[in-house]
Structure 1
Amino acid sequence: MPGRVLLVVDMLNDFIREDGALYSGPEAVKIVDKVAALVKEFVSRQEAVIFIMDAHAPDDLEFKRFPAHCIKDTPGAEVIAELVDCAAPGETVYKVYKNRYSGFFNTGLEQILNEIEPDEVHVTGVCTNICVLYTVEELCNRDYQVVVHRDGVASFDQEAHRWALQQMESVLGVDII
C-alpha cells in the first residue's frame, strides 16, 4: 500500500551521545526531539519507519579514516533510547544494518522499499554531509520522491551540513522542509 516511509539514518549512541566514539556534536543532539516526533507520527499512522544503522566489524577499513565506532553488537551501535521508546521493531518498523555511507550498499533497504512502494521517502539523521547525503543520492537514483527534514538532520561540520542540504535541493531535486 503506497504511502510515506521515514528513514532514520545513524541515530546511534556512538554518534549522538557526547561520550560516543564519533560524537556528531551538539547540533546532532538538537534534532533528537524532532526525529522522535516524526517516528511517533509515522508509527501512529502505521507508516513504515526504517532505522538505517551503521554496524562495523572491529577491523573495518573505515577505521583508517575515522575512529572506531558503531562496532556490531556494542551499545555504541544501538539506536538511541529516545527513539527506541517511540517505535519497537514490528510490522512497520525495520532495522537495516550498513557498513558504508549509503544505506543501500549490501543491505536489504532496496528490497524493503520495493515491497512498500512508497510515494514519498522522508529522511532524518546524521551526518547530513555523509551518510544522509549518500543515502539520499541513492534514493534519487531510484526515482523516489524524497523529503529531507531540515530540522531533523545534523552534522558536526556546519558548513558541510549547509552544502549538503543545498546539493540535495538544487542538484538532486529533493524537497527540503
Structure 2
Amino acid sequence: MTLVETIDSDKTAVIIVDMLNDFVRPNGALPVPGAENLIPNQQRILEKAREEGLFVVYIADHHMPDDEEFDVWGAHAVEGTKGAQVIDEIAPKENEKVIPKRRYSGFFGTDLDLTLREHDIEQVIIFGVLTDICVNYTSAGATARGYEAIVVSDAVSSNDEEDHRFALKHMQKVHDTEVVTTEELLAAMS
C-alpha cells in the first residue's frame, strides 16, 4: 500500500513551502520560472484538503534585512515586505498557521515539528518552491523526524527542469518520500 492510499484527514497535514510574492511573481526578487503555473493545482489540493479537514500550514522564507543568505541569493523575502507574503491565490485562511523560516528546511530553527505534533500529525503533503532546495530540505526534515512525506510533483517547481527531476528522484530514493501528481493525490483524498 502506498502512502497516498493511507491518507487519514485527522493525521495528515498540508505544508505549503515558500509560495511567496518574491518567488512566484515575475517582478519578485527571486522569481522561479513556472511558479505561477503551479497555482491551479495548488488551489485544487488546498480546496480538497480544507474540505476534508486536513491541517494546513504555510512555511514562509522570512529574512532580516542583513541576513547572511543574501550573500548567496541576494535580498529576498525580507521581513515586513510584500515579497515575504504568501501569494493571494492560495492565501492562508484565518485558522491556518504561517511559520517563518530563515533557512532552507521548514523544520530548521522553527516550531513546525512542535506544531505538527500538537495536531497529532503523522503524514505530510508538501508542495511549493523550489523542488531542489526548500521542498527537498523540508521533505528530508519531515522523514528524519518520522513523518511520512508525500511531494506533489506538478505542484512544485525549480529554476530548471533537470534540477526539478533530480530532486524528485532524490527525495524518493534518499528520504523515502512518495512523489505523486495532483490527480493521484486528489483521487486518494476522495
Question: Structure 2: how far apart are the matches of 1:40 and 1:134?
Answer: 25
Q: Which residue of 2 aligns with 1:171?
A: 174
- Runs of 5+ consecutive residues of structure 1 not aligned to the other structure: none
Question: Structure 2: how far apart are the matches of 1:121 and 1:33?
Answer: 20
Q: Which residue of 2 aligns with 1:17?
A: 25
Out of 82, 86, 93, the residue aligned to residue 88 of structure 1 is 93
- Runs of 5+ consecutive residues of structure 2 not aligned to the other structure: 1-8, 181-190
Q: Which residue of 2 aligns with 1:133?
A: 136
Matching residue's letter, 2:86: V
Question: Structure 1: how far apart are the matches of 2:10 and 2:122?
Answer: 6
Give the secondary structure class of the aligned counterpart of 1:20: coil
- 8 Å CA contact 2:16–2:128 kept in 1: the answer is yes
Give the secondary structure class of the aligned counterpart of 2:73: coil
Out of 99, 104, 125, the residue aligned to residue 101 of structure 1 is 104
- 8 Å CA contact 2:10–2:54 kept in 1: the answer is no
Matching residue's letter, 2:66: D
Out of 42, 51, 55, the residue aligned to residue 44 of structure 1 is 51
Matching residue's letter, 1:98: K
Question: Structure 2: how far apart are the matches of 1:78 and 1:44?
Answer: 24
Deviations 1:138-173 (A, max 9, x none): 101011111110111101122111111000011211
Q: Which residue of 2 aligns with 1:73?
A: 80
Deviation above 2 Å: which 4+ runs of structure 1?
Answer: none
Aligned residues: 172
Deviations 1:19-60 (A, max 9, x none): 0000011x2111111111111111122211111000000100
Question: Structure 2: how far apart are the matches of 1:131 and 1:62?
Answer: 13
Q: Which residue of 1 aligns with 2:11?
A: 3
Greater mean deviation of Cα atoms: 63-72 or 35-44: 35-44
Q: CA deviation at 1:89?
A: 2.6
Matched, 1:156 2:159: yes
Q: CA deviation at 1:79?
A: 0.3
Give the secondary structure class of the aligned counterpart of 2:124: strand
TM-score normalised to structure 1 length: 0.93
- State the identity %: 37
